[in-house]
Structure 1
Amino acid sequence: MANLAIDSASQDLLFREAHSAHRFTDEPVSDEAVKAIYDLIKYAPTSMNMQALRVVLIRSDDARERLVRQMIDTNKEKTSSAPLVAIIAADLDFHDEMPRLFPHFPQAKDIFFAKRDDRVPHAVSSATLQLGYFIVGVRAAGLGAGPMAGFDVDGVNKEFFDDGKHHAICVMVIGNPAEDAYHPRLPRLEYDEVFTTV
């Protein structure tokens, strides 16, 4: 489209032709690739520069088995077989980093976020914004991303975040898409169904 700054191929890679991937080749996803993705997306916008995103990369067989047990049945196979699986979580104590990350208002930590009940919705919303950027970053690396909400949240939190400081918001499979990686594209709402001008 004429009004967009990135070229048509980039538009397709990141958005139009991108799907949630469900099957992958056996090619591994290196730590270097994940670091490059994070370097690309770490400036995602968040409220007051909250950096609540935390990612656990599942690489050991034991951790994968523990995670698979928490997935709903339709997500177990893809979680078992993907080259890389990541648990995307929100750090509920994100405020501890705020004096460093939001230096012109260091007292925000205590004014706004002293109580955990006040922090949780902010942690989840900011981490979810960062998650959206992470998905686009995975696509920019030429990889497929399959974000999933179909898991026992309490079970994952107990297995991987038993100190109560983090809250799982998504499990994502990542890898090079196989030939049958994608389900058929489902419909989306049209512009006039989403946007209103007042």
Structure 2
Amino acid sequence: MTKQYHDTILSDAALDQLYNHARTYNGWLDKDVSEDQLRAIYDLMKMAPTSANMQPGRFVWVRSQEAKERLAECASEGNKDKIRAAPVTVVIGYDIDFHEQLPWLFPHTDAKSWFEGDEEGRIEGAKRNSALQGAYMILAARAQGLDCGPMSGVDLDQVTGAFFADQPRVKADWVCSIGYGDPNTIFDRSPRPDFERFNSIA
């Protein structure tokens, strides 16, 4: 029987590591991130929810210098060196035809039929849920003691061509560097709104 954790609140130290003291890094210490660490991140990320367990995210973990150069060529000028210096930068993409995998990912019912013939609906669902998976990835990396630097300043068509050319139904959406952040490269934390500003309880 699976233990239920619903009544357990994480320690202040854990919440600080995931949220309160975690920052977006622009530079990195000269420390490697291993393949085992990347697999550990994925193994946490995949457990988080997506609609009908669709798991539409497709990820390329860019570690080699050659791959970093290819990705940097797709980035805005301000992001090129960030990508080159990071131990790993992940390309987060989404599979438009994720529904082909639903017979084994969501075997309780014929979920594949829900999405057949509706490519626009699939794109909407894939983009939303792969973005969720990318957010889960950031939390998973932080849980492993790593830091993140998410970026949207890339030419997505170029990134798609460079990293998903063999998967014509997969499109790149954003990228995120992962490593051990250099504290000298972060800015002062920007303001965060209090609850009353953007929330209501109905």
Could you say which TM-score interval applies, normalised by the shorter chain?
Answer: over 0.9
Name the SS for the 1:22 alignment partner.
Answer: coil
* Code of the aligned partner of 1:175: G
* Code of the aligned partner of 1:188: R
CA distance in 2: counterparts of 1:139 and 1:181, whole angstroms:
17
* Code of the aligned partner of 1:61: Q
Match of 2:4 in 1: none
* Code of the aligned partner of 1:78: K
Name the SS for the 1:180 alignment partner.
Answer: helix
- In structure 2, the gaps of 5 or more residues are 1-6
Match of 2:25 in 1: 21
* TM-score (ref. length: structure 1): 0.93
Identity among equivalent pairs (%): 37
Once the two structures are TM-superposed, the CA of residue 120 in structure 1 deviates from its matched residue by: 0.7
* Code of the aligned partner of 1:84: V
* TM-score (ref. length: structure 2): 0.91
Match of residue 186, structure 1, among 185, 190, 194 = 190
What are the within-5 Å matches in structure 2 for residues 43-82 of structure 1? 43-82=47-86
Name the SS for the 1:90 alignment partner.
Answer: strand
Match of 1:109 in 2: 112
Q: Is the contact made by 2:94 and 2:172 (CA closer than 8 Å) also made in structure 1? A: yes
What are the within-5 Å matches in structure 2 for residues 80-119 of structure 1? 80-106=84-110, 108-119=111-122
Match of 2:133 in 1: 130
Once the two structures are TM-superposed, the CA of residue 116 in structure 1 deviates from its matched residue by: 2.4
**Count of equivalent residues:** 195
**1:167 aligned onto 2:171:** yes
Taking only aligned residues, the RMSD between alpha carbons, in angstroms, comes to 1.6
Which has the higher mean CA deviation after the structures are superposed, 79-88 or 58-67? Answer: 58-67
Once the two structures are TM-superposed, the CA of residue 4 in structure 1 deviates from its matched residue by: 7.5
CA distance in 2: counterparts of 1:157 and 1:114, whole angstroms:
24
Once the two structures are TM-superposed, the CA of residue 164 in structure 1 deviates from its matched residue by: 2.4
